[in-house]
Amino acid sequence: MKLEYFQDSMNDLDLIVMGAKFATSTRNTLNSFIVGVKSGNTADGRATYRSLGKVTAGLNNEQLEDIDRLLKTAGKKFDPVTFADTTADVLIFGNEKPDYYIEPQHTLVFQIRASELIRNNDSSFATSYTLRFPRILNVRRDKPVDECLTVDELLNLTKSNKAVIKLAKGRIELEEILKTSSRKVAKPKLVMPTIFDVRQVCDILEGFTVYLLNGTEEMSKEQAESFVQKVGGNTSFRLVDTVDIVLVGIKTEKVGKIIARRANYDIVDLKWLQRVLEHGDLVPYRQGEVYYIAPNYKNILADGLDMYGDSYTEGTTVEGLKRTFEIIEHMGDFCNVNDTIRYTGSLNCIDYNAYFDKYEIPNDKNSKLIYDSLIDEIEFRFYNGYVCDTICEEVNLLVYSGEEGRRKFLEEYLNNINRTDIELRCNSFLYK
């Protein structure tokens, strides 16, 4: 049983996609989506929508590419001046603004499940409440946008005792859901489950014994312990050899001392438990969440990481390297970085977002494959370039197989689509 099936958990909500953001400045895929509710009409009769929250989890790679393509082709880059002149009366955002927004006639609906609705204290969104641990269950292409959840329906859910909003106050009025003032509201405590409610309802962490070192402002140590027990895990009040996982909310000097023991338990950031609750499933550790990996036969959560928490497949950052070196130092291992060799290649493609001319008809994956570019794409990525599957707005380089006739065709094609800003280069430049 997944976390969202707990008693008094939140109902599934059909919410409109209003816009999206890039996860980081180095990624070219929109994967953080701002969703909202229908809240009324403008003076000329158009429906208005208010942002309710942001969701990142739930889509597979194919769905993510489709939605990314939709936002970039049917949507628009967010520009405050242009948006205020054209769309601000229809799409109402809080302080959290998208990188791309999409008007209602072009967008779609997500079916979303979250653990609860909590107070939106910092005005990030255009309602007084936002979603906690949301994830996308389904892309509702069959559902008209104007049939998404409305503010009135949200209010009716609270009145029908379905516990959509779990707060100390028993009754919530419509005026409280819509933003009516900028007054500060006290941050609510996480209600479900509480330290007094430790009945097991699923077996996600069955077989694992967890020790909580400390908590965070968002999730206290006691609340984290109740979560662990609720999802089938055992909690230990002493750090003994039978412990499998030590969870750390805030890194202190004590963490370094525990790492130095090189004991038979993993030491992991509390963010991992939050992801388990968000996904309703046992998820592997991520790079950046790990302080120490134990040589434990039960360890099935760190297959993609080495003993210092560094990923075998993902790139790292300067901060990530510093973290790894700290772990090595705490463990007492030797790491000689005095003789580090820095190699700077003659080619650096970090400023390029490239489309490889694989298909007879550009941008048409159903047309004939004319150029097997896999090896060239790997080489391009090695030189820090980013590969795009379509000729999207971010593309500034088009790589082709080298035939002069094909180059002339591509020059004409780019001219027809008003993309003469894209540089054309033969694949041989990767090997010079």
In this predicted structure, the answer to whether residue 210 has a pLDDT above a threshold of 70 is: yes
Q: Is 430 in contact with 352 (CB distance < 8 Å)?
A: no
Does 346 reside within a domain? no
Last residue of a domain, one of 331, 361, 396: 331
Please report whether residue 222 resides in a domain.
Answer: yes
240 in the same domain as 115: no
124 shares its domain with 243: no
* pLDDT, mean of residues 371-378: 90
| Claim to verify: residue 321 and residue 282 sit in the same structural domain | yes
Which of 331, 362, 386 lies at the terminal end of a domain, its last residue?
A: 331
Residue 363 and residue 326 share a domain: no
Token pair 């109740």 in the structure block, residue: 226
**Quick one: the chain helix, strand, coil %, rounded to 5?**
25, 25, 50
Nearest to 94 by CA among 70, 67, 121, 117: 121
Does residue 308 lie in a domain region?
Answer: yes
Residue 332 has pLDDT above 50, yes or no: yes
Residues 17 and 138 in one domain: yes
Share of the chain above pLDDT 90, in %: 33
pLDDT of res. 26: 53
pLDDT band at 192 (very low <50, low <70, confident <90, very high): very low
Q: Is the pLDDT of residue 417 over 70?
A: yes
150 and 231 belong to one structural domain? no
Lowest average pLDDT, out of 178-187, 222-231, 252-261, 319-328, goes to 178-187
Residue 427, CA atoms < 13 Å, CB-side half-sphere: 19
Residue 322 and residue 380 in one domain: no
Confidence of residue 27 (pLDDT cuts 50, 70, 90): low
Cβ contacts of residue 97 below 8 Å, gap of 6+? 19, 78, 80
Higher local confidence (pLDDT), 123 or 213: 213
Out of 298, 331, 364, a domain closes at 331
Does residue 148 share a domain with residue 263? no
Of 19-28, 100-109, 328-337, the range with the lowest mean pLDDT is 328-337
Which amino acid appears at position 363 of this protein?
N
- Whole-angstrom CA distances from 407 to 71, 116, 238, 357 are 30, 55, 69, 10
Q: Is the pLDDT of residue 182 over 80?
A: no
Instruction: Let me know whether 140 and 239 are in one domain.
Output: no
Stretch among 59-63, 189-193, 322-326 having the lowest mean pLDDT = 189-193
Identify the sign of the CA torsion 38, 41, 42, 44: positive
The CATH number of the domain where 129 resides is what? 2.40.50.140
Domain that holds residue 279: 209-331
DSSP state of 417: T
Per-residue pLDDT of 122-169, as tens digits, reads 788 888 778 888 889 999 988 899 899 988 787 666 554 344 444 334
Task: pLDDT band for 172, please (50, 70, 90 cuts).
Answer: very low
Q: What is the model's pLDDT at position 57? A: 85
Return the pLDDT at 180: 42
Q: Write the DSSP string, 41-61.
A: E-TTS-EEEEEEEEE-BS--H
- Is pLDDT above 80 for 36? yes
> Can you give the pLDDT at residue 297?
54
Residues 251 and 287 placed together within one structural domain of the fold: yes
- Show Cβ contacts of residue 111 under 8 Å, excluding neighbours closer than 6 positions: 12, 13, 14, 136, 137, 138, 139, 140
Specify if 202 maps to a domain.
no
**Sign of the C-alpha dihedral, residues 125, 130, 133, 139?**
negative
The rounded mean pLDDT for the chain is: 81
Task: Write the CATH number for 389.
Answer: 3.40.50.10190
What would the two tokens of residue 300 be? 């099935």
Burial of 111 (0-12, 13-18, 19+ CB in 10 A): middle
Render pLDDT for 43-79 as a digit per residue (tens, 0 to 9): 888 899 999 899 988 888 888 889 999 999 999 999 9
Per-residue pLDDT for 303 more than 60?
yes
Whether residue 29 is predicted with pLDDT greater than 90 in this model: the reply is no
Q: Lowest-confidence range among 86-100, 141-155, 214-228?
A: 141-155
Tell whether 193 is covered by a domain.
no
For residue 194, is it within any domain? no
Domain assignment present for 243? yes
What confidence score (pLDDT) does residue 288 get? 86
Q: Are residues 219 and 170 in the same domain?
A: no
Of 45 and 184, more confident:
45
**Least confidently predicted of 2-11, 30-39, 81-90, 211-220:** 2-11
289 and 166, same structural domain? Answer: no
* Number of domains observed in the structure of the chain: 3
